[in-house]
A and B are shown apart, each in its own frame.
Chain A
Amino acid sequence: MAENFTIAIASGKGGTGKTTIATNLACAISQTGKVVQYLDCDVEEPNGHIFLKPQIEKTSSVTIGVPEVDEELCNGCGKCGDLCQYNAIVCLKDKPLVFDQLCHSCGGCMLVCPTGAIKEKAKEIGFVDIGSANGVKFGRGRLKIGDIHTPSLIKNVKGNSIKDGIVIIDAPPGTSCPVIEAIKESDFVLLVTEPTPFGLNDLKLAVGMVIELGIPFAVVINRSDASEKMVNDYCSEQNIQVILEVPDERRIAEAYSVGNMIIDTFPEYKKDFIELYERVSSYKR
């Protein structure tokens, strides 16, 4: 039976190496003959494609429903605006005004409208690209510039998850709604950090988040430095496993800077990623 396991790669701080870990992990597992899918859920600035170089086979438009008011039917009662917690629809005397970009698509305004004046119209928020990259199944969300419906698009990207393989989710940075949406159904979360005060501070926030969500997790230290152990010290105090350390080496940074994978350029790292997966997959929820 094929393995069915989802690992989300998250971080508090941005720029710690989520995509580096996610893409190398996906490729390393794939090279052992397993079915692997990489989903780039950092939809505001997806960059996994730079390293995986996928062939995109299908692009779909993603829409959400926003209200459209038929002013002929509207009696100006204002119930829609009173209900909306986001001020996405506001009734000015007898004239409703809609702010698409603030709408969370709850549909409440349509339900409370006594005259049926509010209909749902589709608003495009972004795209999902599906393809493959050297045997790794590839999926990516791209939010339209200026749009803020990040969680809705991430949910759509995740809707393309394979059910009979290993799914690697590359999450956005931070600890806010888009991150929660990206990681919430995962079997395991890898929190990528760096040994700096910023990295440690934001790691603590991310640890609080995954504990709240009740998802098993471990820490990956990127740009690890033997002389700077603040993250290791924190993790051992908190009884958190540091599952992988990628050293701070110029040659790794140089490979990264031209879009090359660590495991392709320095094959000695491949076993580290494979071992990481083997340890993580024992946490099947």
Chain B
Amino acid sequence: MKIAISSSRQTLDSQVDQRFGRAEYFIVVETESMEFEVLNNDNNASSGGAGIGTAKLLVDADVKAVLTGNCGPNAQKTLSAAGIKLYTGVSGTVSDAIESFKAGKLSETFEPNVDSHFGMGSANG
């Protein structure tokens, strides 16, 4: 299953970026083979609607689930409309997050866990 994890760096031992829309990178991984690719998230510097643009990036990458720290309402709505499962409150390294997901330890969320613009202004991770 192809999933995406918001990441502060470009490797599997990077910390999960706590911001969804303004995450630096997404690591898109095929959970069976553990093959992965890194997406640069240009929406990171967007003046507005960053979460929507980021969600669109992941829709185009054809992922089925997203693991991140915090996700706002517009991003959540976009992911939901595209049928992508969302898991928030994820922290630690990207590889730990993938292992938790594969072990069924994460629970899917159906609501945003922060307001719009939560990830603006401060760097994280």
Residue in A87, A93, A95, A97 whose beta carbon sits within 8 Å of that of B53 in the complex = A87
Nearest-CB residue, chain B, relative to A85: B47
B48, A87: Cβ atoms closer than 8 Å? yes
Q: Tell me whether B107 is interfacial, beta carbon within 8 Å.
A: no
Closest 8 interchain pairs by CB? A87-B49, A87-B52, A92-B82, A87-B53, A92-B59, A102-B49, A90-B56, A97-B81
Contact B78–A90 (Cβ < 8 Å): yes
Mark each residue of chain B from 68 to 109: 1 if its CB lies under 8 Å from any CB of chain A, else 0: 000000100110011000000000000000000000000000
Complex: how many Å from CA A90 to CA B49? 10
A97 to B77, CA, bound (A): 9
Cross-chain contact A99 with B82 (CB below 8 angstroms): no
A88, B49: Cβ atoms under 8 Å?
yes
- Please tell me the number of chain A residues within 8 Å of chain B, measured between CB atoms: 12
When distances are taken between beta carbons in the complex, the residues of chain B under 8 Å from A87 are: 46, 48-50, 52-53, 56, 74
**A93:B52 contact, CB within 8 angstroms:** no
* Nearest CB in chain A to that of B46: its residue: A87
Contacts of A102 in B (CB 8 A): 48-49, 52, 74
In the complex the two chains form, is B49's CB within 8 Å of A86's CB? yes
Residues of chain A in range 234-281 having any CB-CB distance to chain B below 8 Å: none
Chain A residues within an 8 Å CB radius of B55: 90
Contact code string A64-108 (vs B, CB < 8 Å = 1, else 0):
000000000000000001000011101111010101001000000
Known A90-B78, A92-B82, A95-B81; judge A81-B49 contact (CB<8 A): no
Using A95-B81, A97-B81, A99-B74 as known contacts, say yes or no to A90 and B53 having CB atoms under 8 A apart: yes
Q: Which of B42-68 contact A (CB under 8 A)?
A: 46-50, 52-53, 55-56, 59
Main secondary structure of the interface of A (DSSP, over half): mixed
Asked whether, in the complex, the Cβ of B78 is within 8 Å of the Cβ of A97, the reply is yes
Contact A81 B82 (CB under 8 A): no
* Complex interface: chain A residues within 8 A of B81 (CB): 92, 95, 97
Query: Residue of B at shortest CB range from A87?
Result: B49
Q: How far, in angstroms, from A37 to B106 measured CA to CA in the complex?
A: 61
Which chain A positions have C-beta within 8 A of B56?
A: 81, 87, 90-92
List 10 A–B pairs whose Cβ atoms lie within 8 Å, in order of A's numbering. Answer: A81-B56, A87-B50, A88-B49, A90-B52, A92-B81, A95-B81, A95-B82, A99-B49, A102-B48, A102-B74
Q: Note all chain A residues with C-beta closer than 8 A to B77.
A: 97, 99
| Least CB distance, A84 to chain B, in whole angstroms | 8
Chain B residue numbers with a CB within 8 Å of A90 are: 52-53, 55-56, 78
A169: min CB distance to chain B, Å = 27
Which of B48, B59, B82 is A86 in contact with, Cβ under 8 Å?
B48
**Other-chain residue from B48, B49, B74, B78 in contact with A92 (beta carbon distance below 8 A):** B78
B4-36: contact bitstring with A at CB < 8 Å (1 yes, 0 no)?
000000000000000000000000000000000
Bound form: Cα–Cα A81–B53 in Å: 9
Q: Could you say which residues of chain A place their CB within 8 Å of the CB of B52?
A: 87, 90, 97, 99, 102
- Measured CA separation A91–B78 after assembly (Å): 10
Q: How far is the CA of A99 from the CA of B77 in the complex (A)?
A: 10
Residues of B near A92 (CB, < 8 A) are: 56, 59, 78, 81-82
Q: Which residues of B contact A93 (CB under 8 A)?
A: 59, 82
Tell me the nearest residue of chain A to B49, going by C-beta: A87
CB distance from B121 to the nearest CB of A (A): 15
